Amino acid sequence: MTSEEDAHRAALIDYEQMAMLTDRLKNDNTVKRESRREMQSINRRLRDGRNFLAMIAIHTLLKRVIGPYQRWGQLTQASVFERKFHIERIKIEIKKLKNMKEATLFMKSQLEKVDFSTSQFKKTGIKLSHLGTEKQAVSKIKKVILEIDECFLKNKELRHKNEDLEFISVVSDLLDFRLWKRDLENIPELEKRCDEGKEFWKDMDNVEVKAEILILGVNLKSNLKLFEEVQKKNHIKEKWKMIFTASLQRACPNLLAISSRAALSRNAAASCERGNSKLNRFKNDISASMGLEMITARLRVGSNGPKLHRFNAGESGRFWIANGHEFAETQTIGKSVSCYKPKEE
């Protein structure tokens, strides 16, 4: 998403120059006929003002809504229980865009390139079709933004409705302090909703969890300044770490375990990104011939195996040597050998 955002910004900055360049090349006899046709097709699209306005809309959308959501989802610390807050933020952003009366600063900087009285770029004089007045242009940009934004949100909500566990929404309300009311008046309501989320802590006593929620509420009410600071933190792990003093840890052992569990419940997109990073680290020029089975095994061990400082390399090394420097038994399929077996010295 970051690269897409940068690409759209660069394309908008160079839009006028590209229109001017293709305008020249489409009639240049030194250029091959096929290339001239291609330039003519590109120039026709660039001269359509609706495409120019759509690019402004897409960049605005990537920058303000989709980009921040996608970047959050790719963070290592991103928890699945933080998603509800980010979905709510998208809804707020859509509401702001619906009520938008004036163009944003970025829109203005792009629209200032155009002379709406003549429907052409000020510097190069390239004419644009289907542009209308400045007010109509802003209205068209807004329409494209809302169409894509609502489609994006609908798609996300439908996917999570089908794939997510039932208790995720309720547990998100309990664990993400950004969803709590600033005056902390919704704590009794949260305590009642513990019954809906008890599947997440089914190995604990739900009555004790309810009691600990009330204890936490009393503690935060006595220190609202701390609560305001906690709400500013981005991740569940950071929020609960900041709140749990030694005395509160003793008073709320169940909440301590639940918050740790929630911090480890990674968002799906983050897992994919970490997998890609691992693949980039071990799939290099030296290991270019690595097979799919070995790649899958390394990814699985990298994601679920022990931390590097706790890994006992000596034991694994002895096993590897004892098995003839192989990670698995050599299997012969027809005349080919699937794993290389070194010659005996």
pLDDT in tens, 172-230: 888 888 888 877 777 878 878 888 888 899 889 999 999 998 888 888 888 888 888 98
Output the CA angle 234-267-73, nearest 5 degrees.
Answer: 60
Instruction: Tell me what pLDDT residue 76 has.
Output: 67
**Whether residue 14 is found in the same domain as residue 116:** yes
Whether 122 has a pLDDT exceeding 50, the answer reads: yes
Which is more confident, 109 or 128? 128
Same domain, 146 and 11: yes
* Residues 135 and 282 both lie in one domain: no
- Structural domain contains residue 95: yes
- Residue 241 domain boundaries: 168-264
Q: What is the pLDDT of residue 156?
A: 81
The answer to whether position 257 is within a domain reads yes
In degrees and rounded to multiples of 5, residue 4 shows phi and psi of -65, -45
In the predicted model, is pLDDT for residue 2 greater than 80?
A: no
Q: What is the pTM of this model?
A: 0.67
263 burial (CB, 10 Å; 0-12 / 13-18 / 19+) is buried
Residues 259 and 283 in one domain: no
In a domain, 220, yes or no: yes
Under the banding of pLDDT at 50, 70 and 90, the label for residue 336 is: very low
Q: Using pLDDT thresholds of 50, 70 and 90, give the confidence band for residue 28.
A: confident
Predicted confidence (pLDDT) at residue 341 exceeds the cutoff of 60: no
Q: Is the confidence at residue 342, as pLDDT, over 70? A: no
Q: Give a yes or no: residue 16 inside a domain.
A: yes
Nearest Cα to 106, choosing from 37, 45, 59?
59
Residues 6 or more apart whose Cβ sits within 8 Å of residue 36: 25, 26, 27, 28
Whether residue 300 is found in the same domain as residue 180:
no
Q: Cα–Cα distance between 70 and 263 in angstroms, integer? A: 19
The SS3 assignment for 211 reads helix
Decide if 311 is inside a domain.
no
pLDDT higher than threshold 60 for residue 89: yes
pLDDT score recorded for residue 87: 87
Domain boundary among 109, 139, 163: 163
Q: Is 158 in the same domain as 184?
A: no
Tell me, yes or no, whether 228 and 100 share the same domain.
no
Residue 303: predicted pLDDT? 66
Tell whether the model's pLDDT for residue 334 goes beyond 50.
Answer: no
User: Averaged over 114-139, what is the pLDDT?
Assistant: 88
Q: How does pLDDT run across 288-303, given as a tens digit for each residue?
A: 677 777 777 777 777 6
173 and 208 belong to one structural domain: yes
Verify that 55 and 141 share a domain, yes or no: yes
Residues 153 and 42 occupy one common structural domain: yes
Residue 293, token pair as written in the block: 């089975």
Q: Is the pLDDT of residue 337 over 60?
A: no
| High-pLDDT (> 70) share of the chain, % | 84
What was the pLDDT predicted at 65?
82
Residues 271 and 259 in one domain: no
User: Does residue 310 form part of some domain?
Assistant: no
The closest alpha carbon to 230, from 267, 269, 184, 193, belongs to 184
Confidence band of 253 (pLDDT split at 50, 70, 90): very high
Q: Write down the pLDDT at residue 304.
A: 67
Last residue of a domain, one of 163, 195, 230: 163
What is the number of structural domains in the chain?
Answer: 4
332's torsion region: left (phi>0), alpha (psi -120 to 50) or beta?
A: beta
- For residue 106, is it within any domain? yes
Residue 231 belongs to some domain of the structure: yes
**Which segment, 69-83, 150-164, 239-253, is predicted with the most confidence on average?**
239-253
Span 3-17, average pLDDT: 74
Q: How many CA atoms lie within 13 A of 144 on its CB side?
A: 18
Do 326 and 341 belong together in one domain? Answer: yes
